[in-house]
């Protein structure tokens, strides 16, 4: 029978390669080498594909699996890619090139760290201040200065007495009082001692140790620092009989205390109510 022109021709039997439709790659910067490698890989897969049987089914071409980004690097199990220049015409051998993309170093953006700022100090004197406030502060300051000055003055006087009278406080003087035949060339010698708040005076008539006399004030020295109170002696007539009497001065921190021993011509005795003493 004759075959009409519209009837399709019978396909010939036998192995036949299916020619896939060409794949068009858009040219983009930095992608030329990747497109060439994909074409070569696709051609190699077609060459190794076995002959297909006669069938009307349409098979979808297997697309190449994307290669990992570490392919071709030293130590990677994936082999290097081949460029499009391999297996060209004229028996020229293709050259293998390695397409390595340099790593991109992304610099971290510098963050501005805000430093914590201290709160401004509040002015406690801001606003109206009553006039009594500075007056009160001044009075308190003067009181503190007075107390501190008193303590410093007392400490300084104590150190000065240590240098002058020693410890226990001791005072010595020579005087002519008419005892034991004393005179200007050999006066009597007196020693006054503060012994545990007790004022004691020792007399050596005419400077001789034989016949020494002692006089004790009949009361203790009271008050703060009484054991460090210096004792001094003074000789003058306070009874009006023409004889030099002995006046004992006890120099306390607040005031001086005195005690008089009356001269009877041979020694000193405590005063009585009959003695008319004028200090």
Q: Please report the pLDDT score of residue 90 as a whole number.
A: 47
**Helices first, then strands: H and E counts in the chain:** 2, 8
pLDDT value, residue 4 = 46
Final residue in a domain of this structure, among 79, 95, 111: 95
How open is the CA angle 236-238-244, to the nearest 5 degrees?
Answer: 35
User: Using an 8 Å Cβ cutoff, are 177 and 246 in contact?
Assistant: yes
Do residue 146 and residue 201 come from a single domain? no
Q: How confident is the model at residue 7 (pLDDT cuts 50, 70, 90)?
A: very low
Cβ-contact 236, 245 below 8 angstroms: yes
- For range 178-195, the mean pLDDT: 94
Q: Which domain holds residue 243?
A: 168-269
**Distance between CA 238 and CA 244 in Å, rounded?**
8
CA distance 29 to 217: 123
State the total domains in the chain.
3
Q: Tell me what the mean pLDDT of segment 74-94 comes to.
A: 53
Find tokens 């430093």 and name the residue.
115
212-259 confidence digits (pLDDT tens): 999 999 999 988 888 999 999 999 999 999 999 999 999 988 888 999
| Residue 75 confidence (pLDDT) | 59
Do 257 and 187 belong together in one domain? yes
Same-domain check for residues 173 and 237 = yes
Average pLDDT value over all residues in the chain: 76
Pick the more confident residue, 260 or 101.
260
Residue 165 has what pLDDT?
A: 93
**Within this chain, do residues 140 and 176 fall inside the same structural domain, yes or no?**
no
Instruction: State the pLDDT confidence band at 154, using cuts at 50, 70 and 90.
Output: confident
More confident residue, 93 or 144: 144
Q: Which residue has the tokens 């696709």?
A: 42
pLDDT at 203 over 80: yes
Q: How far is CA 55 from CA 11, 15, 58, in A?
A: 10, 11, 8
């Amino acid at each position: 029978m004759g075959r009409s022109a519209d009837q399709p021709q019978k396909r010939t039997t036998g192995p036949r390669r299916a020619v896939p439709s060409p794949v068009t790659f858009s040219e983009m910067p930095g992608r030329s080498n990747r497109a060439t490698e994909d074409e070569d890989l696709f051609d190699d897969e077609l060459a190794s594909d076995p002959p297909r049987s006669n069938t009307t089914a349409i098979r979808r071409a297997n697309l190449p699996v994307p290669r990992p980004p570490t392919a071709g690097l030293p130590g990677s199990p994936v082999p290097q890619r081949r460029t499009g220049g391999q297996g060209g015409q004229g028996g020229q051998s293709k050259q293998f090139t390695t397409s390595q993309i340099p790593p991109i170093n992304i610099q971290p953006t510098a963050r501005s760290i805000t430093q914590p700022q201290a709160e401004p100090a509040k002015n406690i004197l801001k606003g109206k201040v009553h006039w009594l406030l500075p007056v009160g502060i001044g009075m308190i300051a003067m009181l503190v200065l007075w107390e501190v000055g008193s303590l410093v003055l007392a400490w300084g006087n104590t150190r000065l007495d240590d240098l002058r009278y020693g410890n226990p406080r001791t005072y010595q003087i020579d005087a002519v009082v008419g005892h034991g035949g004393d005179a200007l060339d050999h006066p009597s010698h007196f020693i006054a001692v503060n012994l545990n708040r007790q004022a004691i005076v020792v007399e050596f008539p005419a400077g001789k140790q034989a016949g020494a006399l002692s006089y004790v004030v009949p009361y203790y020295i009271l008050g703060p620092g009484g054991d460090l109170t210096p004792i001094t002696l003074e000789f003058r007539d306070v009874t009006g009989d023409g004889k030099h009497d002995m006046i004992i001065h006890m120099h306390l921190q607040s005031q001086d205390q005195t005690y008089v021993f009356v001269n009877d011509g041979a020694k000193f005795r405590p005063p009585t109510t009959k003695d008319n003493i004028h200090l």
